[in-house]
Amino acid sequence: MNNTYIKYTCLVLLLLGYLLSACTPENESGLSGQLLFQDQPLASAQLEIYLKADKDRSVQPFAITTTDAEGRYQASLPEGSYFVIGKKRETTDDGRTRMLMAESPANPHQVVDGIASVASFNLREMGREGLPVADDQTGVSGLITYQGEPVSRAFIYIYTENDAGLTGPSYGEAVQADKEGHFTINLPVGRYSLVARKRADGSRSGALAPGDLNATYPGNPVEISSGEILALNDFALTKVDAEQHAQRLADGVFTKTETLLRGQVVDADDLPVSDVYVFAYLDSRMVGKPVHMSVPTGADGDFSLFLSDGGTYYIGARSAFGGPLEPGEWVGTFDGQADHSVTVTRGANDDLGSIIVKEFW
């Protein structure tokens, strides 16, 4: 065995030792803590970790973990700021299903390096869809109408705050009116904003389309007092107008600006892929709502992604937007940089080249 061989062997071992030490649990970062219910450890509860506060939440959690028999959890997370929610659906001894839920009072939690500790917190029993349990003598009632006629089976959405614009899934409860358009909703004492919608396909959630019925209650916010079922005035829906709807889309994420990324969406065989949206995120994790999106690609796969300003964006492409990724969708990322980022100056018109997508099955 010569000296050179020994030197190389030592070097390799040193490098290996360094790499192994970098993988040890001491370098792991994330959050740990304990969930309680009535001050007792809560086993098999779900801990959901979000990147945004409640009012802005519109996507699935960034990470999910489950508590052990002692109610304890640990989640590995990269550096960042996180919002923590505990949940558990369980059946009580008397056969009743109940939902326990609470946000960490100390939200948001910062992860810098190592495992940050989250103070233990108690989950509370919730009502049907996420509000604390109300008594049956307190709430609101009313009648949903369209052009003076009752509307059957519309959904009434209860928002506890309106910072998010009374759209999206941040409502606390959704209740369906009866066949005659009447509804009564028991709520805890408090202030609420109400929205009613009747989609043509009868669904409870999803983007409104032309022809759907929609209204924000004109008396928002409503104040609910203890022991009172507040009778609302006329809650009249209006039809979503096709032209206004199209204009709203055009004025929104598709707005044309002077800063532009363009390119082509292709498959692994370099063939153009149509009907794919290109998205720009400010967050390197590319979760949540994108800040900009393109119109769907045409047969040539070409896209133009208009940006409101210069900066660093993280670029992805997908054949649908909103909702979970499903089999059959095209999905991919801009891979010019390993982190899928591109830095753009204001007013630029930059060619990103190709974004390769593949079908997810």
Q: Does 73 bind another protein (CB under 8 A)?
A: no
Q: Does 89 bind another protein (CB under 8 A)?
A: no
> Residue 189 has what DSSP assignment?
S
CB of 289 to another protein, least distance (A): 11
Distances (CA, A) of 174 to 126, 148, 152, 235: 14, 23, 15, 16
Q: Does 17 bind another protein (CB under 8 A)?
A: no
Site mask, another protein, residues 205-244, x = CB under 8 A?
------x---------------------------------
Nearer to another protein, 254 or 360 (CB): 360
Q: Does 291 bind another protein (CB under 8 A)?
A: no
According to DSSP, the residues that pair with 333 across neighbouring strands are 316
Nearer to another protein, 15 or 209 (CB): 209
Q: Residue 224: exposed, middle, or buried by beta-carbon count in 10 A (0-12, 13-18, 19+)? A: buried
Site for another protein in 304-333 (CB under 8 A): 314, 316, 318, 323-328, 331-333
| Torsion from C-alpha of 76, 85, 91, 183, nearest 10 degrees | -150
Q: Which of 9, 27, 38, 203 binds another protein (CB under 8 A)?
A: 203
Per-residue b or e along 49-81, where b marks 16 or more CB atoms closer than 10 Å to that residue's CB? bbbbeeebbebebbbebebeeebebbbebeebe
Structure tokens at 239: 């039809």
> Of how many residues is the chain composed?
361
Q: Does 264 bind another protein (CB under 8 A)?
A: no
Q: Does 168 bind another protein (CB under 8 A)?
A: no
Q: Does 88 bind another protein (CB under 8 A)?
A: no
- The amino acid sitting at 135 is D
Nearer to another protein, 284 or 349 (CB): 284
Q: Residue 343: exposed, middle, or buried by beta-carbon count in 10 A (0-12, 13-18, 19+)? A: exposed
Q: Which residues bind another protein (CB under 8 A)?
A: 59-60, 62, 64, 66, 199-203, 211, 275, 279, 281, 285-287, 314, 316, 318, 323-328, 331-333, 340, 360-361
